Amino acid sequence: MRTIRGAVWACLGALLSAPAAGQTGALTPAQAELREIYRELVEINTADSAGDCTAAAQALAERLKAGGLPERDVQVIAPLGGPKKGNLVARYRGTGAKKPIMLLGHLDVVEAKREDWERDPFKLVEENGYFYARGAADDKAMVAAFAANLIRYRREGYRPERDLIQVATCDEEIIPSNFSGIVYLLKHHRSLIDSEFALNEGGGGLLDKDGRYLFLAIQAGEKVFQTYLLEVTNPGGHSSLPVKDNAITHLAAGLARLGAYDFPFRLSATTRSYFERMSRIARGQTAADMQAILREPPDAEAIARLAATPYNNSAFRTTCVATMLDAGHATNALPQRARATVNCRILPRESVAEVQRTLARVLADDKIRVTPTHEPTLSPPPPLTREILGPVETVGAQLWPGVPVVPTLLPGATDGRFTINAGIPTYGMSGMFRDPDGSGVHGLNERLRVRSLYEGQEFLYRVVKRYAGGR
């Protein structure tokens, strides 16, 4: 692990000349162990269609047992009727003085088609300072790092004050009906995974386009995922004799009103802290705007300017957006039915029922029926206590001096919403810094900087030790 001075890793040239890029020779034993686990996990397809989480969970279990964890503490748990939906639960025993910590991550990945990718998505390719593969970043890097670190602790004879429970789940990417993974474990094996708090994906860190370290993220809270079906029905008729009362027109006009609407601006403890800290990292108008929205009352023009950046907008308001349309049954018939899917991402403490009422009010047409497609999973943001934040700041300052720690709200959804909902405060952190373009997560040519994998491993190694105490 090299220490990085200031927030400057200037250019790709520096990465290319770094010993870790392209060569395994320069790796420490712990890094080499991680690389092997990571490669093995990535090369087991765990997508929902043709993949097999159980195979990945078993591979991980074998690694942990070979690394010295007792057989009885390493389990692969698949739900009945889901032989390929296995999860791994492994317990690294401490003195038991305190309640366990959960090291959470998911084994499954989003689909990836070989013909669309530049490289085989299920082969770990190391090229120009990056690892490329489906799952390279989301989320096999973190799962592999947790496992490699447990093995490293074991070799070092580390005895924490709490048990460390690695939970590697299936079906995290199946939204909203994730029934085989963390939901299943919470329901049927709660005692096996019960923890005081959990570390999870959704944190990491952000680089700018020149590879400079902008901030180390600690994610505290997720938005609530809620989808609605909008439907207009109509008797229809012959399209040569149209009338104004048309199902498609009703729906389209309502969707246009929704598209123009902004839900109210609202800050939580997490997002207030996010904008406070980001206002010191940002420059010029953006920095001034971030300050201006923190005042009472917040500045409306500053809100509007910041909202042009999707992440900012998602951080300070609920969003609802049309994602699918389906209408009509023949080119020469008036539509009898028009349907749209609207996906909402609701601020953690906002009322889901209230959002539905707002939707109806904004659509402003009682011909448009609004129906939720599923029960929401609420996830109140976990508190960012000193006990949680302190170790992240300390280890962050050791590894990346001068790089600030910034709390974030996740606009997306992870397994964390279920653990939070079950009373296990869950925080996103990995120490794995990513490029500003999203690194191909859920998309094509997913990648992770080689350096980020090993930095994240070291960050997690140290931060978990600080949370767990002992020696």
Contacts to Zn ion by CB under 5 A: 138-139, 201
Q: Is 297 helix (H, G, I), strand (E, B) or coil?
A: coil
**What's the rounded Cα separation, in Å, for the pair 1 and 465?**
17
Euclidean distance between CA atoms 409 and 221, whole angstroms: 5
If you search the block for the tokens 């802290």, which residue do you land on? 273
In whole angstroms, what is the distance from residue 26 CA to residue 55 CA? Answer: 30
- Beta carbon of residue 110, minimum distance to Zn ion (angstroms, whole number): 9
Instruction: Evaluate whether 444 touches 117 at the Cβ level (below 8 Å).
Output: yes
Closer residue to Zn ion (CB): 143 or 320:
143
Instruction: Please report how close the Cβ of residue 139 comes to Zn ion at its closest, in angstroms.
Output: 4
Whichever of 203 and 211 has its CB closer to Zn ion, that residue is 203
Using DSSP, state whether 400 is helix, strand or coil.
Answer: coil
| Distance of alpha carbon 2 from alpha carbon 20, whole angstroms | 11
State the minimum distance, in angstroms, from the CB of residue 378 to Zn ion: 20
Rank residues 201 and 231 by Cβ distance to Zn ion and give the closer one: 201
Least CB distance from residue 106 to Zn ion, whole Å?
6
CB of 135 to Zn ion, least distance (A): 9
Assess whether the previous peptide bond of 297 is cis (omega < 30° from 0).
yes
- Would you say 108 or 350 has its CB closer to Zn ion? 108
Place of tokens 């909008």: 230
Q: How many CB atoms sit inside 10 A of residue 203's CB? A: 26
Identity of the residue, 279 or 408, whose beta carbon is nearer to Zn ion in the bound complex: 408
Query: In terms of CB distance, is 182 or 292 closer to Zn ion?
Result: 182
Q: How far is the CB of 442 from Zn ion (least distance, A)?
A: 8
Q: Is the CB of 35 or the CB of 106 nearer to Zn ion? A: 106
Tokens of 373: 């497609």
The neighbouring-strand residues paired with 109 are 47
Output the smallest distance, CB 317 to Zn ion, in A: 24
Tokens matching residue 440: 């191909």
Which residue, 33 or 201, is less far from Zn ion as judged by CB?
Answer: 201
At 145, give phi and psi (nearest 5°): -65, -45
| Least gap, CB of 221 to Zn ion (angstroms) | 16
User: Min. distance of Cβ 20 from Zn ion in angstroms?
Assistant: 24
**Distance separating alpha carbons of residues 147 and 150, to the nearest angstrom:** 5
Nearer to Zn ion, 93 or 442 (CB): 442
Specify the residue, 102 or 278, whose C-beta has the smaller distance to Zn ion: 102
What is the total residue count of the chain? Answer: 471
Report DSSP state, residue 7. T
| Three-state DSSP class for residue 274 | helix
DSSP state letters, 417-454:
HHHHHTT--EEE----EE-TT-TTTTSSS-EEEHHHHH
Any residues with CB less than 8 A from the CB of 366 and at least 6 apart, and which?
none
Determine the 3-state secondary structure of 229 from DSSP: strand
> In whole angstroms, how close is the CB of 147 to Zn ion at the nearest point?
16
Locate 282 and state its tokens: 């940002």
Q: Which is nearer to Zn ion, 193 or 441 (CB)?
A: 441
CB of 429 to Zn ion, least distance (A): 14
**Start-to-end CA span in the chain (Å):** 21
What DSSP letter does each residue of 78-133 carry, written as one string? --TT-TT--EEEEEE----SS--EEEEEE--B----GGGSSS-TTS-EEETTEEES
Nearer to Zn ion, 138 or 435 (CB): 138
| Distance of closest approach, residue 430 Cβ to Zn ion, in angstroms | 11
What's the rounded Cα separation, in Å, for the pair 431 and 416?
Answer: 17
Give the alpha-carbon dihedral of 187, 190, 192, 194, to 10 degrees.
140
